[in-house]
Amino acid sequence: MTQIMRRFDPKEIREDFPILSRRIGGKPLAYLDNAATTQKPRQVLEAMQEFYEQKNANVHRAVHTLSYEATVAYEAAHRRVAEFIHASGPEEIIFTRNATEALNLVAYAWGLWELREGDEVLLTVMEHHSNLVPWLALRRLKGISLKFIDVNERGLLKLEELSRLLSKRTRLVGCIYASNVLGTVNPVEEIIEAAHRFGALVLVDGAQAVPHMPVDVKELDCDFLAASGHKMLGPTGTGFLYAKRELLEEMEPFLYGGDMIETVTLEAATWNKLPWKFEAGTANIAGGIGLAAAVDYLERLGMEAVYDHERRLLEFAWERLARVEGVKLYGPAPGEAARLGIISFNLEGVHPHDLAMVLDSEGIAIRSGHHCAQPLMARLGMEFAARASFYIYNTEEEVERLAAAVEEAKAAFRVRS
């Protein structure tokens, strides 16, 4: 296992990230769009470069040295991810392009084959589109029913609805672990336990949780968990699905072709062992190796330390932005509920896209839009919002710059308080 750092120093961490030395519009880059994707440390970039320079070959297809070394490294990457989330083994880790593909894999490799007309899938109003749209498609294809756990005005799930919505017809409960809009950490343990009492499987969207807090899939007892590698310092085009081995053994493949087969005749085919049964074709080998390097980096920091750092930044940013007249903050305040380092907000009289452009002119990168969560946005009474999201390399100085730039935007647009 990777040795944990004794001291968490974001300024020291920043030295590992070449892009953070950039200047935007003459100003130092303050990258506050980490919920969309994170920056990559040198250790990840070098691991991928070393693969391409020294080991580049396809995996599982040849006996020559390069193919052997590539295969060893790629399979080791699955083991590192399995260790990171405490899966039983690498056979429970399917590498995908992103969390979206992982969620779709469940919908089509499990849902398309297992769900029948009248079966129910229970989701939350808080879901990212990636864990909503596939089930909408299956409702059209299979005639399933969709139910939704609502949120209250503070952006917290109405858990009192859970027992009412669960029934013997519930086949799957899908829940986002942490909201990409509000940063709210949902009580997934309670949801999983309740769902299992009704015999339902549970799919957890861990895209925002896995990069920012300790996650133990055995402790959670979730049946599926999706995550994005690129949101946890890994390269873009990487993600993974965790699933209990017995489920993966029973499920049909999602994609068909090379490497996912054991035998093929003109009449039939049989499937490869796990996890390769679900990884058809030439893989993103360098991406998987880069993801393993990202896991090494995060484990060296310690996930508790990552969570604590973000919590401190969140508390500071919430207090600082709340002092700007005309700013509306969404979700529960820090201390009211478990939250990650994500703040969605609006400035009265200023469109979030305009605000984001003003901030960009100050070198500050944030997100503006509906954040792929339109039902939640509508439930909270907004169409768009600005979003600042923090990670391991962000500092209080950058939060100060954010708040000061919002003040300047208010003055520039002559917003009346």
Which are the contacts of 134, defined by CB distance < 8 A and separation ≥ 6? 103, 104, 107, 108, 111
Mean pLDDT of the chain: 95
Residue 271, token pair as written in the block:
């499937």
| Average pLDDT value for residue range 206-219 | 98
pLDDT of 3 above 80: no
In the block, tokens 């500050």 appear at: 364
Q: Does 336 or 395 have the greater pLDDT score? A: 395
d(CA 239, CA 95): 6
| Average pLDDT value for residue range 183-200 | 97
Q: What's residue 94's pLDDT?
A: 98
Q: Which of 372, 404, 412, 415 is catalytic?
A: 372
Q: Is the distance from CB of 293 to CB of 47 less than 8 angstroms?
A: yes
Q: What's residue 276's pLDDT?
A: 84
> Closest Cα to residue 320, out of 387, 390, 397?
397
pLDDT digits (tens, 9 = 90+) for 333-344: 998 999 999 999
> What pLDDT band is residue 2 in, cutting at 50, 70 and 90?
low
pLDDT digits (tens, 9 = 90+) for 341-381: 999 999 999 999 999 999 999 999 999 989 999 999 999 99
pLDDT digits (tens, 9 = 90+) for 102-142: 999 999 999 999 999 999 999 999 999 999 999 999 999 99
| Average pLDDT value for residue range 70-96 | 97
Residue 46, token pair as written in the block:
């070098």
Cis peptide before 334 (omega within 30 of 0): no
> Closest Cα to residue 186, out of 120, 103, 126, 121?
126
| Average pLDDT value for residue range 321-331 | 95
Amino acid at 333: A
> Does residue 222 have an active-site annotation?
no
Q: What's residue 6's pLDDT?
A: 53
The SS3 assignment for 145 reads strand
pLDDT digits (tens, 9 = 90+) for 270-324: 888 989 899 999 999 999 999 999 999 999 999 999 999 999 999 999 999 999 9
> What pLDDT band is residue 4 in, cutting at 50, 70 and 90?
low
Q: Taking the domains of the chain in order of start, what are their residue ranges?
A: 10-36+302-412, 45-299
d(CA 187, CA 184): 10
Residue 200, token pair as written in the block:
């339902």
**Which stretches of 67-117 are assigned E, i.e. beta strand?**
93-96
Where does 268-333 have alpha helices with state H? Answer: 285-301, 303-322
Strand partners, 343: 388
- DSSP class of residue 33 equals B
Amino acid at 194: A
> Closest Cα to residue 205, out of 182, 193, 223, 230?
223
What is the homologous superfamily of the domain 10-36+302-412 according to CATH? Aspartate Aminotransferase, domain 1 (3.90.1150.10)
- Measured in residues, the chain has a length of 417
Q: Is the distance from CB of 239 to CB of 102 less than 8 angstroms?
A: yes
Q: Which fold has domain 45-299?
A: Aspartate Aminotransferase; domain 2 (3.40.640)
Q: What percent of the chain has pLDDT over 90?
A: 90
Residue 192 has a CB neighbour count (10 Å cut-off) of 20
Provide the Cα torsion 220, 225, 230, 233; round to 10°: 20
> What pLDDT band is residue 163 in, cutting at 50, 70 and 90?
very high
Mapped to the 3 state alphabet, what secondary structure does 179-212 carry? CCCCCEECCHHHHHHHHHHCCCEEEEECCCCCCC
> Closest Cα to residue 95, out of 323, 290, 318?
290
pLDDT of 1 above 50: no
> What pLDDT band is residue 62 in, cutting at 50, 70 and 90?
confident
Residue 309, token pair as written in the block:
């750092």
Distances in Å between the Cα of 244 and the Cα atoms of 24, 97, 200, 353 are 45, 20, 14, 42
